[in-house]
Amino acid sequence: MRLIDHPSPNFDERTGRRPVSIVVLHYTGMPNAAAALQRLCDPEAKVSAHYVIDEDGTIYRLVPEDKRAWHAGVSFWRGVRDVNARSIGIELVNPGHEFGYREFPTVQIDALLELLRDIAARHEVMPGNYVGHSDIAPQRKEDPGELFPWHRLAAAGFGRWPAWDFTVSQTAPALQPGDRGGAVLELQVALDRIGYGIEGSGTYDPLTEAVVRAFQRHYRQSQVDGVSDAETTSLIHHISTLVSMRRSCSEKSA
């Protein structure tokens, strides 16, 4: 693992005594690595991450893991509102949607997986807590985006992915912004169970649309439109069921 210390002054102390339990992945959204590192180390910018991974696989360590880096902003995941206090933030060098979004090189993802294995040796992070910035802040962020290979991470044990036997339910409703009713409420409850910050109102409002879009960026990357067609609806309930099954197994083994 090519690890270079590149200290950033942008951090503070982790609050409370609860351990690190979330890993948040970002793209830098800047033209190149040099520009990203400069901003993440600029005291006036007031942003940072624990690590930055360049497209050639070089890993820069900006903030010690026992410190609170400033990468998540206003966010939420599984009841955690101060995500910075409970997470490790990793920035992947990529120009993002603003500067020419492109696929993440294999060598970059290989380096990420090596880093995640290293992190997992120090912190207990459940599969469902490897998330993107868009997952924890769906109305503000879209990184690391629909080109990020979440399936590779899940195959290595760092995340969730649909089971091999997943199929689209023939009875799954197609839902869209403006819809109301029990099917929308069930969709919102399932998204909340996965970890998204959403309450069950029964109305397919702008927040629901944003959360569905974030889900699609993670699990149904071929079409990201915020509309819960039959495939998306089926996937949401499928992933929600996987979460419930894991929680049930954890409770039985406790």
pLDDT digits (tens, 9 = 90+) for 31-81: 999 999 999 999 999 999 999 999 999 999 999 999 999 999 999 999 999
Residue range(s) in the chain whose domain bears CATH number 3.40.80.10 = 3-155
The Cα-based distances of 152 to 9, 89, 136 in angstroms read 33, 19, 20
Residue span(s) of the chain under CATH 1.10.101 come to: 182-253
Is 191 within 8 Å of 240 (Cβ atoms)? yes
Confidence category of residue 247, pLDDT binned at 50, 70, 90: low
Q: What value does the CA radius of gyration of the chain take, rounded to a whole number of Å?
A: 18
Q: What is the pLDDT of residue 245?
A: 76
Identified catalytic residue from 55, 91, 142, 231? 91
208 three-class SS: helix
Structure tokens at 14: 């982790």
What is the predicted pLDDT for the residue at 246?
A: 65
Residues with Cβ within 8 Å of residue 204, at least 6 apart in sequence: 175, 176, 177, 178, 179, 180, 184, 187, 228
Fold of 182-253: Muramoyl-pentapeptide Carboxypeptidase; domain 1 (1.10.101)
pLDDT recorded at residue 35:
97
Mind listing the pLDDT tens digit for each residue in 160-181?
999 999 999 999 999 999 999 9
Residue 251 annotated to the active site: no
Percent pLDDT > 70 in the chain is 96
Cα dist from 83 to 23, 106, 201, 223, whole Å: 9, 28, 24, 28
Q: What pLDDT score does 1 carry? A: 83
Beta bridge pairs of residue 13: 67
Our measurement of the distance from residue 67's CA atom to the centroid of its chain's CA atoms, rounded to an integer in Å, reads 20
CATH class given for the domain over 3-155: alpha beta
Residue-level pLDDT at 16: 77
Q: SS3 breakdown of the chain: % helix, strand, coil, rounded to 5?
A: 35, 15, 50
Residue 252 reports pLDDT greater than 60:
no
State the average pLDDT for the chain. 95
